[in-house]
Amino acid sequence: MPIRILPSHLVDQIAAGEVIERPASVVKELIENALDADARHIRIDIEHGGLGLIRVRDDGGGIPAAELSLAVQPHATSKIATVEDLEGIASLGFRGEALASIGSVARLRLVSRRAGSAEGAELTVEAGERSGPRPAAHPPGTSIEVRDLFYSVPARRRFMRSESTEFGHILRQVERLALGAPAVGFELHHNGRPALDLPGASPDGASHGDPQAARDALAARIDRILGPEFRRQALLLPAGAGPVRLWGWLALPTAARGQPDQQYWFVNGRAVRDRLLAGAVRLGYRDVLYHGRHPGFVLYLSLDARAVDVNAHPSKLELRFRDS
């Protein structure tokens, strides 16, 4: 075969292969976008394990009608503009690839309205073809609908598990993101039935800078997600001061589990699975943990965004620290 330049739709499908592995990956990208838009409440509706429908509705800042068709194009983002921005990323997204990738492997519909504008607008993408924007009713905020995931890439579709397995991945993804954004309300429904309801911070409490109220709200959320036994058998690590702050809950060694299923690291609000951080926890328990046991923890690290490189992995799960 001669060398050729691939058509852009195929390029997008290849890019989608990196970040859109299964329905839960779509849910992650859409929730991250809602969080970046400062949503206070996020509602997620799933049908058929996410292979039928994924809809994420938020009450965040919205997308201007004139920018809707840019939002679904590859390498189009409102989050960074220069290499300096890339070195100190404060948002969850920055690659400008998620919506373009999703639009190349599913039927995509965006409806959005900016807070100040009189009406909303919608745009659809199917097989890489955009249609719109056209006027549409929507409260301030954004809804993104993804139908028939992987209909255009049958090979990927065949890798999907049962509806209930795929929904299990989605549920765990939502729980993880909800632990990283404790002030935001999350509501998850599967086939019309409620699966998770996590209230957000009350406007007069946690979100107005009362640290105790914020901690209590997070503690309640942790009890819902990890079960109340976790905190009963865990130590609260108080937040330190200074440029690097670490706090959270660490299970007592006697409460360690057979599986590493209750381990949550958040770095500047981003859920990560980082070898260095995982190793640091293991080192902390080194003399008090039986072989093959895994302590549960929910740990929050915050530091100068310029001291971490989040551009090390397409799905941004791994990090690089400037001074590990």
- From 68, 72, 79, select the one nearest 120 (Cα to Cα): 68
Residue 93 makes contact with Mg ion by CB under 5 A: yes
The two beta strands, 53-58 and 185-190, are: unpaired
Distance CA 15, CA 73 (A): 12
End-to-end alpha carbon distance in the chain: 46
Residue 78 makes contact with ligand ADP by CB under 6 A: yes
Residue 33 makes contact with Mg ion by CB under 5 A: yes
Residue 205 makes contact with ligand ADP by CB under 6 A: no
Residue 63 makes contact with ligand ADP by CB under 6 A: yes
Q: Tokens 């969080």 map to which residue?
A: 35
Q: How far is the CB of 33 from Mg ion (least distance, A)?
A: 4
For ligand ADP, which is the closer residue by CB, 173 or 262?
A: 173
Q: Which of 48, 55, 79, 215 binds ligand ADP (CB under 6 A)?
A: 79
CB count within 10 Å of CB 286 equals: 7
> Which segments of the chain does DSSP mark as H helices, in order?
8-19, 23-36, 68-71, 83-87, 98-105, 154-157, 163-180, 211-226, 228-232, 275-284
77 binds, among ligand ADP, Mg ion, none (CB under 5 to 8 A by kind): ligand ADP
- From 211, 155, 157, select the one nearest 183 (Cα to Cα): 211
8 Å CB contact between 45 and 23: no
8 Å CB contact between 66 and 52: no
- From 94, 164, 98, 152, select the one nearest 128 (Cα to Cα): 152
Residue 93 makes contact with ligand ADP by CB under 6 A: yes
121 binds, among Mg ion, ligand ADP, none (CB under 5 to 8 A by kind): none
Q: Of the ranges 59-67, 87-95, 230-238, 316-324, which one interacts with Mg ion (CB under 5 A)?
A: 87-95
Angle CA(294)–CA(26)–CA(247) in degrees, nearest 5? 40
Q: Which of 13, 26, 58, 200 binds ligand ADP (CB under 6 A)?
A: 58
Residue 34 makes contact with ligand ADP by CB under 6 A: yes
54 binds, among ligand ADP, Mg ion, none (CB under 5 to 8 A by kind): none
Residue 80 makes contact with Mg ion by CB under 5 A: no
Residues 214-233 that bind ligand ADP (CB under 6 A): none
Q: Which of 12, 23, 51, 77 binds ligand ADP (CB under 6 A)?
A: 77
Residue 226 makes contact with Mg ion by CB under 5 A: no
Q: Binding residues for Mg ion, per CB under 5 A?
A: 33, 93, 98
Q: Binding residues for ligand ADP, per CB under 6 A?
A: 29, 33-34, 37, 58, 60-63, 71, 76-79, 93-100, 142
